[in-house]
Structure 1
Amino acid sequence: MSILSSNKRITNIIFNDHSIRYVEVRQQKPPVPLKWGEKLLPSGIIQEGKIVDQVTLSMILEECIDDWKIKRRKVRFLVPDPLVMIRKVKVPDEVRPDELNGYLYLELGTSIHLPYEEPVFETVLLPKKGEQREALLFAAPQQHVMEYAQLLSGLKLKPMAADISPLALYRLYHQTDLANKDERLLMIQFDLDRVFICIFEQQYPIFMHHFPIQFRLEDWDIKVTRSGAHRFQYNGEAAELHSQLEDFYKEVSKLMDFYRYSLYQGNQQITKVLLNGDHPKLQIILQEMQQRFEIPTHTIDASQWAAGKTSLFPHSHFLALGLGLKEV
């Protein structure tokens, strides 16, 4: 992870179905968030990570640019989770690392099938195990990724890098010194309207899974905190929220079993869980998981980074902070 000088003033922006967030970061260890903000989105502007109402989103983002004073900035952004897929693919021995992208591009549509015709993708060659060579393929539909890049550039921002949430969060996790090279990590991003899960082996993301959860804005009272984030207080049916959380715990248990028995025939299992997200009940979810599962479950603690203003840094902005650690 490179250290960027603070005068480069790069802004890190996160889009999801219910908000736009930004963070400016001083890259050091530990990282220091300098400025941050959040704007809630009306329902239906972004759905399943896809921009539905480009005109309204552009107007809202333009207001954010003025309010946050980030005109003409260089920006990084995350490709929304529902658009992203990770696939492990076999690679012939004769393919050199510098030929990997070209080889996989030629294989798309023949030996490698993706659910969209025109992807944008990145590849990483995995450490060789025995005679088998494998690579990770990170892919997303080009059309929808370019819509975000064009949205930013159309408002005179300068998109210079895109990333995906598991890599952004893992960078932040790695900075906390909790990461262990040999662990098998189940990373969970639990947001207001969606859960995203990624499994890491030896610091590589090898499996992704996400699913929506029911979210109705009218079920929540919203207040703005001193840190600039939004505090959600649930006012809906308690039994309904309880049922949602129970479904989540069952899904996590099934994924752990799938990893242990389907992928490794009982010979390997998840060794650690990392929980993050913007869900208002995140601490309750953490405590419940620690009681239900024998596997150590952690969350990232912002208070270890610095005193003063940083201690107010909201949990909801951790992804944007991790994005700020990306090399450019």
Structure 2
Amino acid sequence: MAFSLFTSKNRIVNLVVNDHSIRFLELKQTNPPGAQKWGERLLPPGIISNGKIMDIDSLAIILDECIDDWKIKRRSVRFIVPDQLVIIRKVTVPAEILEDEMKGYLYLELGSSIHLPFEEPIFDIFPLSNNGKTKDLLLFAAPEQHVMEYANLFTSLKLNPIAADISPLALYRLFHELGQANQNEKLIIVQFDLTSVNLCIFEDSVPVVMRPFALPFNSEQWDIKRDNLGKVEIKFIGDTNDLVLQFEDIFKELLKLLDFYRYSLSKEKQDVSRFLLTGDHPMLQAIKDEMKERFEAPVDLLSLDAISNGKTGSLPANFLLSLGLALKEVK
């Protein structure tokens, strides 16, 4: 699953670009695979907003500097499509539609039996069931214009984009690689980042519904610096009531999604069995503690214990998404 736009190459660099940062990670070919090296550059507000590039000239200058600093010129890259651009939707099609005809059929149905909030999508599909008359599929879609804007930017800077992925799949891939996934599990991944939150419910290994949300971000309320090893440290220095209100809004949305899943999506009216909390928000432990107070299902942080170290020390928690992306298509 994910967006198969490109062809494959060796020596792949994995890029995660969001509203507030650019991160890269290179995989170490070990068993189990680990991180070889990584780097991070924070972005000024306004260059990317809700996953969309707003100032491509400034982004190109910053990314070009990163390419030099990280010594990744002319490398092949995978990248994450921003959560805010991605739609996951279940669709039903006639059973007689062959696999190699499926994407053409879906394109023809856009705007009639299949409705998306944007035109000219790029999409991938995942088969769910076939009763002989109809097939159920999961449709992963994003606006081609915005996805290709990232791909074209990389190409213009002499990088070679080979694959685009989505964050829930990358995170679940890492979760599974670490041996933390359970069979027949109803899992919700809560990705709590500095400027956004993404909620995604999995049945076994299949994402069935996803909801992204923006978090208000005021740079004046945060103290951002680097430690002696170059690691970015972010500390909230504003009014804590502002954070409390933000978190409260997200918990309300989380509760709505759980109710929607129980009463509309789950065939057996089941609840999720576990929360998996991850992300780059500096208050992740406090968020976990609050979730444990509010919800009955257990709340786990995506563990770093089984991840090997790379050349630049222990892998920071905010690079877990990058590592999950790096595991794509690793045999």
Note whether the superposition's TM-score is higher than 0.5: yes
SS of 2:180 mapped into structure 1: coil
Q: Which runs of at least 4 in structure 1 moved beyond 4 Å after TM superposition?
A: 129-132, 307-311
Question: For 1:203-218, what aligned pairs fall within 5 Å after superposition?
Answer: 203-218=205-220
The 1:102–1:229 alpha-carbon spacing in structure 2 relative to 1, beyond 3 Å, is farther
Q: Given the alignment, which residue of 22, 40, 43 partners 2:42? A: 40
Partner of 2:149: 147
Alpha-carbon distance, 1:117 to partner: 1.5
Q: Measure the CA separation in 1 of the matches of 2:221 and 2:284.
A: 17
Question: For 1:152-301, what aligned pairs fall within 5 Å after superposition?
Answer: 152-225=154-227, 228-264=230-266, 267-301=269-303
Q: Measure the CA separation in 2 of the matches of 1:287 and 1:309.
A: 33
The 1:227–1:296 alpha-carbon spacing in structure 2 relative to 1, beyond 3 Å, is farther
Please provide the CA RMSD for this pair.
2.1
Q: Given the alignment, which residue of 102, 105, 119 partners 1:103? A: 105
Structure 2: tracts of 5 or more residues without a match: 2-8
Q: Which amino acid aligns with 1:47?
A: S
Structure 1: tracts of 5 or more residues without a match: 2-6
Q: Measure the CA separation in 2 of the matches of 1:226 and 1:109.
A: 54
1:28-60 Cα distance to aligned partner (Å, 9 max, x none): 443211111111111111111111111111010
Alpha-carbon distance, 1:245 to partner: 1.7
Q: Given the alignment, which residue of 86, 103, 111 partners 1:84? A: 86
Question: For 1:5-84, what aligned pairs fall within 5 Å after superposition?
Answer: 8-84=10-86
Q: Which deviates further from its counterpart, 241-250 or 185-194?
A: 241-250
Partner of 1:137: 139
Alpha-carbon distance, 1:132 to partner: 4.9
User: How many residues were matched structurally?
Assistant: 323
Q: Which deviates further from its counterpart, 78-87 or 302-311?
A: 302-311
1:92-115 Cα distance to aligned partner (Å, 9 max, x none): 111122322222122112211111
Question: For 1:113-132, what aligned pairs fall within 5 Å after superposition?
Answer: 113-128=115-130, 132=134
Alpha-carbon distance, 1:129 to partner: 6.2
Alpha-carbon distance, 1:323 to partner: 0.5
Alpha-carbon distance, 1:127 to partner: 3.4
Q: Measure the CA separation in 2 of the matches of 1:227 and 1:304.
A: 22
Q: Which amino acid aligns with 2:327?
A: L
Q: Measure the CA separation in 2 of the matches of 1:248 and 1:228.
A: 31
Partner of 1:312: 314
Q: Which deviates further from its counterpart, 218-227 or 233-242?
A: 218-227
Q: Measure the CA separation in 2 of the matches of 1:225 and 1:212.
A: 28
Q: Measure the CA separation in 1 of the matches of 2:228 and 2:186.
A: 37
Q: Measure the CA separation in 2 of the matches of 1:181 and 1:28.
A: 26
Alpha-carbon distance, 1:327 to partner: 1.7
Q: Which amino acid aligns with 2:195?
A: D
Q: Measure the CA separation in 1 of the matches of 2:178 and 2:135.
A: 31
Q: Percent identity?
A: 54
Q: Measure the CA separation in 2 of the matches of 1:268 and 1:65.
A: 47
Q: Measure the CA separation in 1 of the matches of 2:30 and 2:109.
A: 40
Q: Which amino acid aligns with 2:16?
A: I
1:279-310 Cα distance to aligned partner (Å, 9 max, x none): 00001111221232110111111132236868
Alpha-carbon distance, 1:262 to partner: 3.2
Alpha-carbon distance, 1:227 to partner: 5.7
Alpha-carbon distance, 1:244 to partner: 1.6
Q: Measure the CA separation in 2 of the matches of 1:298 and 1:226.
A: 30
Q: Which deviates further from its counterpart, 10-19 or 251-260?
A: 251-260
Q: Which deviates further from its counterpart, 311-320 or 136-145?
A: 311-320
